[in-house]
């Protein structure tokens, strides 16, 4: 009887001992240190930023952001009324301004006006602001306050404002039309004068 029990016990223990002696295979042990291992860097390429429309950024297609320079030249014709008399006017002018902020430039302007019987010179500060930009088209306003040097009459002060649009052929080169209004403040015997006309403008944004 005892021999039989001993045989049964040995039969039960033998498989357990055999399993204990086999090496463990395909078993992974997770340790706390394994959770702190750095992840391998991703090999996927970085996504390119989505394109922005010109009117969503001051640094768009054109050179109209802070630090740039604006120089322009224009040619225009106008009809002038002085003391109930009409005068035909041909004028050429230029300006040089610096963008102290995105879309906004300050500087000075100079122009020569030729009437039928006299020539005028204008010199003074000016400013330009682009209030709308879309793709290659920009809309702007500019204004100046110049001292008027006349060859036949008393000197005067001129305020000028214009509204125009420019098409940017390149980020630096633009051209387009504008309409303007002038008011001359008379000094002494000089009468106040109003003018309006059409400009053809060529501009460089450097």
User: Helix or strand or coil: residue 188?
Assistant: coil
Q: What is the pLDDT of residues 118-139, one digit of tens each?
A: 788 889 999 999 999 888 999 9
Tell me if the pTM is above 0.95: no
Paired with 61 in beta bridges are none
Measured CA to CA, the distance from residue 137 to residue 159 in angstroms comes to 27
State the chain's mean pLDDT as an integer: 75
């Amino acid at each position: 009887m005892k021999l039989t029990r001993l045989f049964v016990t040995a039969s039960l223990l033998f498989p357990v001992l055999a399993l204990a002696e086999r090496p463990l295979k395909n078993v992974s042990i997770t340790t706390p240190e394994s959770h702190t291992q750095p992840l391998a860097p991703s090999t996927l390429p970085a996504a390119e930023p989505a394109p922005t429309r010109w009117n969503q950024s001051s640094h768009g297609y054109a050179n109209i952001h802070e630090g740039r320079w604006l120089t322009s030249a224009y040619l225009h014709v106008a009809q002038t009324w002085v003391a109930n008399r009409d005068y035909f006017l041909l004028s050429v002018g230029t300006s040089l301004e610096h963008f102290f902020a995105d879309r906004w430039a300050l500087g000075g302007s100079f122009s020569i006006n030729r009437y039928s019987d006299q020539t005028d010179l204008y010199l003074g500060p000016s400013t330009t602001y682009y209030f709308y930009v879309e793709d290659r088209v920009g809309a702007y306003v500019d204004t100046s306050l110049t001292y008027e040097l006349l060859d036949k009459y008393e000197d005067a002060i001129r305020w000028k404002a214009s509204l125009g649009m420019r098409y940017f052929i390149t980020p630096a080169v633009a051209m387009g039309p504008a309409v303007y209004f002038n008011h001359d403040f008379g000094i002494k015997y000089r009468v106040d004068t109003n003018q309006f006309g059409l400009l053809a403008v060529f501009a460089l944004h450097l």
